[in-house]
């Protein structure tokens, strides 16, 4: 079945640094979503991307839907301590492949003040 490879698995950075993480797949997706999970809570949607090549920002977050529809990246600029958490990418398969939402393994971000 479809799989997403998310990297890196974990990151330890200093406050103020920029962060980049990405997801790749051998399959194409119609939608890419980026979620953040705070400790002890459920994932919360950060950014949704619906069109190949789309670049979307939400405050210090920027995400792009790869032109091949097989990848996406998320950048966080000027990280702060509350950015700590697990970030998940998720891709939705085309309708003729079930329209399922597939999640990456997650990137655990630690920010040192």
Partner 1 sequence: NAGVTQTPKFQVLKTGQSMTLQCAQDMNHNSMYWYRQDPGMGLRLIYYSASEGTTDKGEVPNGYNVSRLNKREFSLRLESAAPSQTSVYFCASSEESSYNSPLHFGNGTRLTVT
* Contact set with partner 1 (CB under 8 A): 1, 4, 6, 9, 30-31, 33, 35, 40-45, 48, 50, 88, 90, 92, 99-101, 103-106
Q: What are phi and psi of 104, to 5 degrees?
A: -75, 175
Q: In the bound complex, what is the minimum distance in angstroms from residue 100's beta carbon to partner 1?
A: 7
Q: In the bound complex, what is the minimum distance in angstroms from residue 75's beta carbon to partner 1?
A: 20
* Burial class of residue 96 in the structure, from the number of CB atoms within 10 Å of its CB (0-12 exposed, 13-18 middle, 19+ buried): exposed
Closer to partner 1 at the Cβ: 50 or 68? 50
Closest CA to 18 of 64, 80, 72: 80
Q: What is the DSSP letter of 93?
A: P
Distance spanning both ends of the chain, measured CA to CA: 41
Closer to partner 1 at the Cβ: 18 or 57? 57
Q: In the bound complex, what is the minimum distance in angstroms from residue 97's beta carbon to partner 1?
A: 12
């Amino acid at each position: 079945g479809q799989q997403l490879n998310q990297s890196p698995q974990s990151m330890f950075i200093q406050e103020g640094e920029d962060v980049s993480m990405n997801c790749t797949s051998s399959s194409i997706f119609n939608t890419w979503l980026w979620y953040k999970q705070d400790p002890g809570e459920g994932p919360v949607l950060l950014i949704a991307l619906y069109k190949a090549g789309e670049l979307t920002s939400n405050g210090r977050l920027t995400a792009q839907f790869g032109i091949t529809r097989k990848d996406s990246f998320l950048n966080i600029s000027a990280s702060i301590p509350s950015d700590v958490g697990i970030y998940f990418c998720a891709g939705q398969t085309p309708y003729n492949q079930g329209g399922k939402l597939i999640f990456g393994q997650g990137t655990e971000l630690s920010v040192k003040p």
